[in-house]
Amino acid sequence: MKLKPTKEEIVKGNIELYGNKQIIVDGCKGVIDYNEDYLKLDLGKIILKVTGRNLVIDSYIYEQVDLKGEIVSVEFMN
Amino acid sequence: MIINFLRLILGFVEFEAKGGFPERFLNLCTVNGITLWQVQNDGVKVKACTSVKAYKNIKKSARNSGMKVKIVRKRGLPFFIKNNRARAGVLVGLSLVVFFLALSSCMLWNIEVIGNEKIKSEVLMESLSNNGVRIGVFKSKIDTIAIQNELLDEYKDLSWASINIFGTKAVLEVKENSEKPKMADDKIPMNIIAKKDGQIVLVEAHKGTNVVKEGDVVVKGDLLISGVTLNGDGSEKTIHATGKVFANTLTNINGECGVEVIGNVLKTSGNKYYLYALGGEIPLFLKCKGEKLYKGENLLKSTSGELPFGVKWEYLGEFQETEIELTENQTALLALFDCVKEKREKFKDECEVLKISYIKKFTDDKTQVKCKVSAKENIAEEKEIFVE
């Protein structure tokens, strides 16, 4: 089993979480599903699902999504 | 914060998109290089913001995702200017304010001098002004290194000078030379004698032989500390005696004032006002007579000090020589002023005035005041010993 991620994987799939109010995701290939209560992002091999309330995409630029709102959970799906 | 400010300056549009596939719309926008922010999807429509230029290219992404876009609001400076084209005066005024702020921020507003003790701040300010550092000049025109060198050449008492410009404030920081101590010329043999009559209260002989002690009464010219000392073999040698001898003294000071004096009487007066801004003065008067007697200023103040904006004024007046007849009290007061002036000159250093008493004497044409000043002072005076 591969435990350590490669440098390339770290750079491409960087996620920053600021409390439960903001999440910044780098390496986003596209938005799969989005509304006020959840957001599904395509990160290449995995899908990131963020659920919460009053979710607003503060910016979406160059594969970087800045999501603000009241975040309840962050899930990874294959 | 800065990004939001720049967005307002450049202008942006708030729009909403309905129908179709919102996610595909977002993805296509990103692929086409259209920057979106404040994206909100309430399930029915997508609300977002984008730049004016990007909105012109957004239709292709909307068509490919089956969405219809509509502008909700236009925000920012370009739209503000466009909406207020009819109010040209407001825009010109706003532009002038911005221009003035930008221009004045390139100028000096304050000058401060620190670190000086012997040389007065006003003198250094005057030199700075002569070298082009004054309120209202452009900061870029100030050659700090050349001015620093100029100041060091001009004032030999300065050992170091530095001009620092912080924002719109110039600070001149200086360091002054410390004076060389005076070397006593102890080759000439000297005695210490009394320069005044008095009763000795303290003798501090640094070199020489004490001749008097506390409580002794001395008159002017009496020997206090002798410069003649004895060697171990009984022979004598002369030295330069030094020391301080404090005594209680009594000094008479006389002052007088005539009953009739010629004085300058203020005949006319007026004020001249100037509007002051960044070193420049705009006169607020047409014609004013008289010579300047004194001046003042009322400047705007901020938390960091005075601002170079406000009103300056000059008080003008004309004097006429007139013969004045004084009352007894007035002549007595003027005579007393004479005494006080003389007292200040006589009792400068190393003295403590203990008591002052005076008597007044009135005659037909003048008033005399006799003051008696009782003081504790250093009465030591050096006198050369002549050796044949």
Q: Taking CB atoms and an 8 Å cutoff, what residues of chain A touch B22? A: 34
Query: What are B67-94's pLDDT values in tens digits?
Result: 898 999 999 988 888 888 888 888 889 8
Residue A2 located in a structural domain: no
Whether B306 shows a pLDDT value over 70: the answer reads: yes
A4 or B373: which leads in pLDDT: B373
What are the pLDDT digits (tens) for B344-366?
Answer: 887 777 788 888 888 888 888 88
Among B75, B53, B188, B171, which residue's Cα sits nearest to residue B121? B171
Encode pLDDT of B183-205 as tens digits.
767 788 889 999 989 999 999 88
Q: What is the mean pLDDT of chain B?
A: 87
Q: What is the mean pLDDT of residues A12-33?
A: 88
- For residue B216, is pLDDT > 80? yes
SS (H, E, C) chain A: CCCCCCHHHHHHCCEEEECCCEEEEECCCEEEEECCCEEEEECCCCEEEEEEEEEEEEEEECCEEEEEEEEEEEEEEC
B275 beta partners: B282, B311
pLDDT at A68: 93
Shared domain check, B100 and B65: no
> HSE on the CB side for B257, CA within 13 Å?
22
C-alpha separations of B51 from B36, B135, B257 in Å: 8, 43, 88
Give, rounded to a whole angstrom, the gap between the first and last alpha carbons of chain B.
Answer: 93
Q: Which residue of B has its CA nearest to A34?
A: B23
B220 and B337, same structural domain?
A: yes
Give me the domain span that covers residue A16: 7-77
Residues B7, B36 within the same domain: yes
Is residue A10 scored above 60 in pLDDT? no
Domain extent at residue B286: 269-318
User: Is B382 within a domain?
Assistant: yes
B39, B42, B43 member nearest A60 (Cβ): B39
What pLDDT score was predicted for residue A12? 62
- CB pair distance less than 8 Å for A34 and B22: yes
Of residues B254, B260, B256, B265, the one with CA closest to residue B334: B256
Task: Domain count for chain B, please give it.
Answer: 4
Task: Report chain B residues touching chain A, CB-CB < 8 A.
Answer: 22-23, 26-27, 29-30, 35-43, 48
Query: Is pLDDT larger for residue B321 or for residue A8?
Result: B321
For chain A, the residue count is: 78
Q: What is the CATH number of the domain that holds B76?
A: 3.30.70.260
Instruction: Specify whether B232 is located in the same domain as B367.
Output: yes
User: Do the domain assignments include residue B201?
Assistant: yes
Q: Which of B39, B40, B58 to mutate to test the interface with A (most CBs of A within 10 A)?
A: B39
- Closest Cβ opposite residue B41 in set A34, A58, A59: A34
Count of domains forming chain A:
1
* Whether residue B284 is found in the same domain as residue B244: no
Task: Spell out which residues of chain B touch residue A59, defining contact as CB-CB under 8 Å.
Answer: 35-37
C-alpha A61/C-alpha B5 separation (Å) is 19
Please determine, for residue B247, whether its predicted confidence score (pLDDT) is greater than 90.
Answer: yes
Q: How far apart are CA B325 and CA B262, in angstroms?
A: 9
Q: Is residue B264 part of a domain?
A: no
Q: Are residues B102 and B211 in the same domain?
A: no
Q: Which pLDDT does position B279 carry in this prediction?
A: 81
Of B277, B301, B318, the last residue of a domain is B318
> Is pLDDT at A9 greater than 70 in this prediction?
no
User: Confidence band (pLDDT; 50, 70, 90) for A6?
Assistant: low
Give the pLDDT of residue B113. 92
B254 and B374 together in one domain: yes
Of B22, B27, B39, the CB nearest to A30: B27
Does the pLDDT value for residue B267 go beyond 80?
Answer: no
Give the span between the Cα atoms of B347 and B326, in whole angstroms.
30
Residue B200 pLDDT: 92
Residue A33 lies in a domain: yes
- Percent residues over pLDDT 70 in chain B: 99
Q: Are residues B207 and B348 part of one domain?
A: yes
Q: Which of A31, A36, A61 sits opposite B42 (nearest CB)?
A: A36
Residues of A in contact with B35 (CB under 8 A): 59-61
* Contact residues, chain A to chain B, C-beta under 8 Å: 30-36, 56-63
* pLDDT greater than 70 at residue A5: no
* CB-based contact B39 A33, cutoff 8 Å: no
Amino acid A67: pLDDT: 92
